[in-house]
């Protein structure tokens, strides 16, 4: 009997063929579980189940009814915060306190969208003034139908919540494909759905490989809305797949975000935010402020402090108490980040890090790394490394800082630090990014829109914008 690890139509089912996914503990490189992987036929079954659930039931429920399910999901997750956090650490490697924050944020996300589902009932059929008294018009917000959702490995449970909560709140049904590197917490969501009695087919979970299950989901004509979070190259493939029959998509892609620090910034606070902005989650954060632009006069003092702070970071397995930096997610990713660091050594000054820590001979660990003055044309400066690697450049004027910050293919996030709030606001307004932080880095709020410009993606998640991703707006106009 194959182990049933796909959640389709309210049941745990075995895939049609026998491909397996290994769950590797990144802190030691050992396999601790294995799952069956969904193939094209399984994805097809899941999409069909989601279609039936949408047509028969879920698409006709009220926001209030859906809110009750979302709250029940949140309550169920709340019962298992610690177990979920430990599972996330084993699968992804991140330090336990960070995993605990992720679980709390995922729960908060389900609760927030329960609130928006209720509000949706109040907004339904709102009258709209039109400039001709012979007509009356009202606006409806209707669910998009079946949502195909593909997510990455850096925040496995939280990314699932960011996708599922707004879609379910809107009245869409979902087929979720987690990353093949971190599928376990998404499957736990399926178990929660089971326990709370979510109607069959409303949520389907198909762990599988990107080139197979992901590809099949992206191309499936039964998917009305494709929501993707991941890298730019995969995002481009998703866009091509959706282009064939003009499907609605949203893309949350990579970043190479800048943090501009003027010399009047509060130095202690700046050091803290810069460290968090690049080393949280091992730097595997789409919005990581991985390019630091520092005003020339401040550079020597700031860099001394950053190097000192980076060397003091405690590195180790995520479940070990006091650990601040865990391993990278996989051997392949460790290899990629290490190669970019090696390449970087030829063009920029390595101020600290750049190696596997001597006390951690196994696992996918890498020291917090800081490079000074890479060439603006180098891979180090241009490419998303998605690891604990900070690149620093100096600037003399505000205009030069902005020019350096905005000169990027990406436009996800940016930060600016200065005691002069007028200047900080002026710079924030001129930054070409979807998210800008003043005198901080990385705070994320479920109420606020999340997403980027340029190659960082299309559309916004979170807040009411996240709900809009899964709603179609309809005008109904009547002639009197």
**What is the binding site for ligand NAD (CB under 6 A)?**
150-154, 177, 179-180, 210-211, 214-215, 218, 229-231, 234, 237-238, 252-255, 286, 384, 386, 412, 457
Strand (E) or helix (H) holding 429 = helix 421-430
| Exposure b/e, 432-452, CB count within 10 A at least 16 = b | bbbbbbebebbeeebeebbbb
Smallest distance from ligand NAD to CB 125, Å: 33
Smallest distance from ligand NAD to CB 336, Å: 10
Nearest of 269, 230, 266, 264 to residue 250 by alpha carbon: 230
How far is 226 from 167, CA to CA, in rounded Å?
11
Rama region for 197: left / alpha / beta (φ>0; ψ in -120 to 50; rest): left
Nearer to ligand NAD, 151 or 404 (CB): 151
Q: Which two tokens stand for residue 327?
A: 């391993």
Residues annotated as catalytic (active site), given as ranges: 252
How far is 209 from 180, CA to CA, in rounded Å?
5
SS3 340: helix
Nearest of 150, 151, 153, 152 to residue 26 by alpha carbon: 153
What angle, 0 to 180 degrees and rounded to 10, lies between the N-to-C axes of helices 267-279 and 299-311?
50
Smallest distance from ligand NAD to CB 91, Å: 13
Smallest distance from ligand NAD to CB 276, Å: 17
Smallest distance from ligand NAD to CB 426, Å: 26
Q: Which two tokens stand for residue 277?
A: 């902005």
């Amino acid at each position: 009997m194959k182990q049933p690890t796909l959640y389709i139509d309210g049941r745990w089912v075995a895939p049609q063929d026998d491909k397996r996914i290994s769950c590797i503990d990144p802190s030691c490189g050992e396999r601790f579980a294995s799952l069956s992987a969904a193939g094209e036929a399984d994805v097809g079954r899941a999409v069909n189940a989601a279609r039936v659930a949408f047509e028969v039931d879920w698409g006709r429920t009220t926001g209030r009814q859906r809110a009750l399910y979302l709250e029940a999901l949140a309550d169920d997750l709340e019962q298992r915060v610690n177990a979920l956090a430990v599972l996330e650490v084993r699968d992804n490697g991140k330090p336990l306190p960070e995993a605990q924050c992720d679980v709390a944020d995922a729960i908060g996300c389900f609760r927030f969208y329960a609130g928006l589902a209720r509000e949706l009932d109040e907004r339904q059929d709102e009258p709209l003034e039109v400039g001709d008294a012979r007509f009356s018009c009202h606006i409806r917000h209707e669910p998009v139908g079946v949502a195909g959702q593909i997510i990455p490995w850096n925040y496995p449970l939280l990314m699932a919540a960011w996708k599922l909560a707004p879609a379910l709140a809107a009245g869409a049904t979902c087929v979720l494909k987690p990353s093949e590197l971190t599928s376990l917490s998404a499957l736990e969501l399926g178990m929660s759905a089971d326990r709370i009695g979510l109607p069959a087919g409303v949520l389907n979970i198909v762990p599988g490989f990107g080139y197979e299950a992901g590809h099949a989901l992206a191309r499936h004509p039964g998917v009305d809305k494709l929501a993707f979070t991941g890298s730019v190259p995969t995002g481009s493939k998703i866009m091509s797949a959706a282009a064939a029959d003009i499907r609605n998509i949203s893309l949350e892609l990579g970043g190479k975000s800048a943090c501009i620090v003027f010399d009047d910034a509060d130095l202690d606070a700046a050091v803290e935010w810069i460290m968090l902005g690049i080393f949280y989650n091992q730097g595997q954060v789409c919005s990581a402020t991985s390019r630091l632009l520092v005003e020339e006069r401040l550079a020597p003092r700031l860099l001394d402090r950053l190097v000192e702070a980076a060397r003091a970071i405690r590195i180790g397995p995520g479940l070990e108490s006091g650990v601040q930096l865990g391993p990278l997610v996989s051997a392949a990713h460790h290899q990629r980040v290490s190669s970019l660091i090696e390449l970087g050594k030829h063009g920029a000054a390595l101020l600290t890090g750049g190696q596997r820590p001597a006390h951690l001979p196994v696992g996918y660990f890498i020291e917090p790394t800081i490079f000074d003055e890479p060439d603006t044309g180098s891979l180090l400066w241009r490419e998303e490394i998605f690891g604990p690697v900070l690149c620093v450049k100096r600037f003399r004027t505000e205009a030069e800082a902005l020019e350096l910050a905005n000169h990027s293919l990406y436009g996800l996030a940016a930060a600016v630090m200065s005691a002069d709030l007028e200047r900080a606001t002026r710079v924030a307004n001129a930054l070409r990014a979807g998210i800008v932080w003043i005198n901080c880095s990385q705070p994320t709020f479920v109420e606020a829109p999340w997403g980027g410009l340029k190659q960082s993606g299309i559309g916004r998640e979170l807040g009411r914008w996240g709900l809009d991703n899964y709603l179609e707006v309809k005008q109904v106009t009547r002639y009197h």
